Amino acid sequence: METNILNPLNTLIVEDQTDDLELILFELGRQGIQVNWNRVDNEADYLAQLHPGLDLILADYHMPQFSAIRALELLQARGLTIPFIVITGSISEEVAVECMKLGAVDYLLKDRLSRLGPAIHQAMRERRLSLEKQRTEEALRDSEIKFKTLFTESLDVILIINSETGIVLDVNKTLQRALGFAPHQLVGKHYSTLIPPLSEAQRSEDLIDAVRHHGAVFESRGFMRADGTICPMDITATVIPWGSGTAVVATLRDVSERMQAQEAQQTAEMLKMQLEHEKELNELKSRFVSMVSHEYRTPLATVMTSSELLLHYAGRMTEENRMRHLTQIQQSVKNMLNLMNEVLTLEKMNLSQLHFEPKSLDLTEFCTAVVDEITFNTQGVIPIEFTITGESRMVCVDETLMRQIVSNLLSNAVKYSPEGSTVDFRLDWGTDRVMLTVSDHGIGIPEEDQKRLFEPFHRARNVSGISGTGLGLSIAKRAVELHGGTLGFQSQVGIGTTFVVIIPINSESKCA
């Protein structure tokens, strides 16, 4: 099937006879081939009209001033690949062969121009295929040039490795700069020449096997330098066609500087953390000294005053006064012992020396006892309203730690509440957890102090006139965490504070 020629062909007709020209144009029109044509009959005009934009040349074999043979020679001299068809009245076989050798695509007799259309169609097809082949070859050459430039000038090491044998087929000159090997020292050898000897524990998957298995490899490995040292490198490897088979192209990038920068950054971050830790320790020590000096001064002064009064004036005192001073001494010593116990408890928690010993406990009865104890010690100035929801049952908890949790939260609520208010304490039983909620209507916690509320020895700025160590909440939080629970709170200055403890209910079979 003939290929339709839709666009007019730019055609140069080499012909000296007007009748023959009209015959050619008639036949072209009859066969539906449109042309934009020019006619020449001598070498000078031919050269003037010869240009790459021509689609076709139709030439009479012999004219008084010119010939098709000469026209073909001039066409070749110009390096043009324009389809050239010889049209003549008669031609010998030897002449026809000579024309074809010089580049003519066909030759026709003037009395058989019915073949002109098919000859032109065939010439156009061959030209199109030739141009496509030329473009493909040019693109391939351009690609090869680009690849060679990229391969040669790349700042990364590029290895071409036989995907079957692991033998290095080629390597760029960057190898010498990066690893100290000249290219000829590696080409023809197995790529493992660059892999440092590793123990079995360190040995990673073979590169070729990894590429076969995963299709591509993106990882970091150490590669051997010529001086025996190891260079950390990022490697990208994939399979490409190579000749009649395939090859692995591997790109290696030296990441020594990046790793040094990362190590420097890690060192800087570590130093920063150490400095921050040291700052925190200094601040903690400062708060501890401040707390001890404040919390010990008052009871010690009380002990000193009461003991001196008893020492010098006991005989003049009534029994009631003597007992009052002895009670003050006893209470002051008790307060100092409580403070010391809190410090020791926190220290044990920090050193993970505090033993977590869960036992079966009636939590409802336990909480009731703690409420009664705090009410007795505070003479019930701030009533505690204790409510229970859900089905009470035995739980597996550490009783000592639970006392730290409940007593600290209730004591704080009472301590920071104004007279005439109440503290709400709720015990809510769930299927797999128990929730303790302590709410007061006291002074509240300033927002800027809330983020540091559980830090040891930290006290909010609005409690300066109220005695306290700043240890209770820190101990309570860690005690809750030892039970696998959570401790949260909400607070607003002048409105009050609510603490919520959630502790999972463990099976009694886990208890000692």
Q: pLDDT tens-digit profile of 273-320?
A: 877 766 665 565 555 555 555 555 666 767 778 787 887 877 788 888
Compute, in degrees rounded to 10, the torsion defined by CA atoms 192, 194, 196, 201: -40
Please write the tens of the pLDDT for every residue from 264-280.
888 888 878 877 766 66
Confidence check: pLDDT of 394 > 70: yes
Tokens of 463: 């409690």
Judge contact between 397 and 510, C-beta under 8 A. no
The mean pLDDT value for 222-233 works out to: 90
Query: Looking at domain 261-350, which CATH architecture does it have?
Result: Orthogonal Bundle (1.10)
- pLDDT of 322 reads 81
Res. 1 pLDDT band, cuts 50 70 90: very low
- pLDDT of 200 reads 47
Q: Kind of pairing, strands 35-40 and 9-14?
A: parallel
Please write the tens of the pLDDT for every residue from 112-142.
888 888 989 998 898 888 888 888 888 888 8
- pLDDT of 270 reads 84
- pLDDT of 84 reads 94
Confidence check: pLDDT of 503 > 90: yes
Confidence check: pLDDT of 202 > 60: no
Q: Write phi, then psi, for 311 (nearest 5 degrees).
A: -65, -40
Tokens of 39: 């006619």
- pLDDT of 278 reads 64
Which helix (H) or strand (E) covers residue 84, if one does?
strand 84-88
- Choosing among 3.40.640.10, 3.50.50.60, 3.30.450.20, 3.40.1190.20, the CATH entry for 154-254 is 3.30.450.20
Placement of tokens 């700043």 in the chain: 470
Least confident of 374-383, 405-414, 448-457: 448-457
CA dihedral sign of residues 427, 430, 433, 437:
negative
Please write the tens of the pLDDT for every residue from 398-426.
888 898 899 889 988 998 898 889 999 99
Mean pLDDT of the chain: 83
Confidence check: pLDDT of 236 > 50: yes
Query: Looking at domain 9-134, which CATH architecture does it have?
Result: 3-Layer(aba) Sandwich (3.40)
Q: What distances in angstroms separate CA 242 from CA 161, 170, 237, 246, 354, one per listed residue?
A: 10, 12, 15, 5, 69
Placement of tokens 């008639």 in the chain: 26
Confidence check: pLDDT of 364 > 80: yes
CATH fold match for the domains 154-254 and 359-510: no
DSSP 67: B
Tokens of 223: 């590669």
Q: Which CATH superfamily is domain 359-510 in?
A: Histidine kinase-like ATPase, C-terminal domain (3.30.565.10)
Q: Where are the domains of the chain?
A: 9-134, 154-254, 261-350, 359-510
